[in-house]
Structure 1
Amino acid sequence: MVKKLRRKFVLTATLSLLVILIGIIGFINGANYLQVQTGADDILHILAENNGMFPDMNGKIPVPNDKKQGPGDNPGQEPGDDRFSGEPFFGDKMAYNRTLELPFQSRYFWVKLSETGKVMEINTGHIAAVSSEAAESYAKELFANKNKTSGYVDKHYRYLINKNEDGSYLILFADCSNGFYNANRLLVRTLLVGLIALIAMFILVYLFSGKAVAPVVESLEKQKRFITDAGHELKTPLAVISANIDVIELENGKSEWTKSTKNQIKRLDGLVKNLLTLSRMEEENINLVFSNIEISKITEDCTTYFNAMADYKKINYTVNIEDNIHINGDKAAYNQLCTLLIDNAMKYTPEEGSVDVSLKSDKGMRNAVFEVANTCEKIPEGKLDRLFDRFYRADTSRSRESGGHGIGLSVARAIATSHGGSIEAKADNDKRMRFIVTLPLLKSENK
Structure 2
Amino acid sequence: MNIIKRLRRKFILMATIAVIIVVVGVLGLINTIAYMRMNGQVESVLSYISQNGGDVPPNKMVPGGGWFGDRNWSDDTPDFSYQIRFFSVVMGPDEYVKMINTQNTVAFTKGEAIQYAQAIVQAGKTEGIFKKDRASYAYMLTKDFNGDFLIVIMDCTHDVDAVESFMRYSVKVGFVCIILYVIILAALCNMAIKPFIRNMENQKRFITNAGHELKTPIAIISTNTEAIEMINGKNQWTESILKQVQRLSNLINDLIILAKRGEGSHADLVVEKIDLSETVAGIAGTFRQMAEDQGKNLLCHIAPQVYIKSDTKCVYELINILVDNAIKYCDDGGSIDISLVKSKKKIADIVISNTYADGAGTDYSRFFERFYRGDISHDSKKSGYGIGLSIAEELTQLLKGKINVSYTDGKIAFAVRLNTND
Task: Give TM-score, length-normalised by structure 2.
Answer: 0.85
SS at match of 1:396: coil
Choose the corresponding residue for 2:305, options 324, 342, 363.
Answer: 324
SS at match of 1:425: strand
8 Å CA contact 1:399–1:405 kept in 2: the answer is: no
Establish whether residue 107 from structure 1 lines up as the match of residue 85 from structure 2. Answer: yes
- Cα distance in structure 1, aligned partners of 2:270 and 2:95: 89
Establish whether residue 228 from structure 1 lines up as the match of residue 208 from structure 2. Answer: yes
Establish whether residue 98 from structure 1 lines up as the match of residue 98 from structure 2. Answer: no
Establish whether residue 301 from structure 1 lines up as the match of residue 282 from structure 2. Answer: yes
8 Å CA contact 1:361–1:369 kept in 2: the answer is: yes
Q: Deviations over 1:71-123 (max 9, x none)?
A: xxxxxxxxxxxxxxxxxxxxx99756423354334333332221222222233
- Cα distance in structure 2, aligned partners of 1:399 and 1:136: 90
Q: 1:363 to 1:43 in 2, by over 3 A?
A: farther
SS at match of 2:75: helix
- Cα distance in structure 2, aligned partners of 1:292 and 1:97: 80
- Cα distance in structure 1, aligned partners of 2:380 and 2:116: 81
Question: What's the offset of the Cα at 1:356?
Answer: 3.2
The sequence identity of aligned pairs, in percent, is 31
The code of the aligned residue for 1:227 comes to: I
1:157 is aligned to 137
Choose the corresponding residue for 1:181, options 137, 155, 161.
Answer: 161
Establish whether residue 139 from structure 1 lines up as the match of residue 117 from structure 2. Answer: yes
Alignment of 1:156-305 (within 5 A): 156-284=136-264, 289-305=270-286
SS at match of 1:402: coil
1:78 is aligned to none
Choose the corresponding residue for 1:117, options 85, 95, 100.
Answer: 95
Task: Give TM-score, length-normalised by structure 1.
Answer: 0.81
SS at match of 2:304: coil
- Cα distance in structure 2, aligned partners of 1:131 and 1:352: 96
Question: What's the offset of the Cα at 1:308?
Answer: 4.3
Choose the corresponding residue for 1:53, options 55, 64, 67.
Answer: 55
8 Å CA contact 2:401–2:419 kept in 1: the answer is: no
Question: What's the offset of the Cα at 1:338?
Answer: 0.5
1:358 is aligned to 339
- Cα distance in structure 2, aligned partners of 1:187 and 1:212: 34
Range with greater deviation from structure 2 (105-114 or 423-432): 423-432
Q: 1:159 to 1:373 in 2, by over 3 A?
A: farther
Q: 1:383 to 1:160 in 2, by over 3 A?
A: farther
Q: 1:334 to 1:38 in 2, by over 3 A?
A: same
- Cα distance in structure 2, aligned partners of 1:24 and 1:359: 54
Question: What's the offset of the Cα at 1:297?
Answer: 0.5
Question: What's the offset of the Cα at 1:354?
Answer: 5.0
Q: 1:313 to 1:428 in 2, by over 3 A?
A: same
Establish whether residue 437 from structure 1 lines up as the match of residue 384 from structure 2. Answer: no
2:398 is aligned to 418
The code of the aligned residue for 1:23 comes to: G
- Cα distance in structure 1, aligned partners of 2:111 and 2:25: 44
The code of the aligned residue for 1:267 comes to: R
- Cα distance in structure 2, aligned partners of 1:416 and 1:299: 15
Q: 1:201 to 1:308 in 2, by over 3 A?
A: same
2:65 is aligned to none
Q: 1:418 to 1:138 in 2, by over 3 A?
A: same
SS at match of 1:389: coil
8 Å CA contact 1:378–1:430 kept in 2: the answer is: no
SS at match of 1:406: coil
Q: 1:180 to 1:430 in 2, by over 3 A?
A: farther
Q: Deviations over 1:270-297 (max 9, x none)?
A: 1111111111121128975443221210
Question: What's the offset of the Cα at 1:269?
Answer: 1.5
Q: Deviations over 1:12-34 (max 9, x none)?
A: 22222222211122222222222
The code of the aligned residue for 1:6 comes to: R
Establish whether residue 40 from structure 1 lines up as the match of residue 42 from structure 2. Answer: yes
- Cα distance in structure 2, aligned partners of 1:52 and 1:192: 40
Superposed structure 1 runs of 4+ greater than 6 Å apart: none
Aligned residue pairs total 409
1:67 is aligned to none
8 Å CA contact 2:396–2:403 kept in 1: the answer is: no
SS at match of 1:388: coil
Q: Give ranges in structure 1 of 5+ residues lacking alignment.
A: 61-91
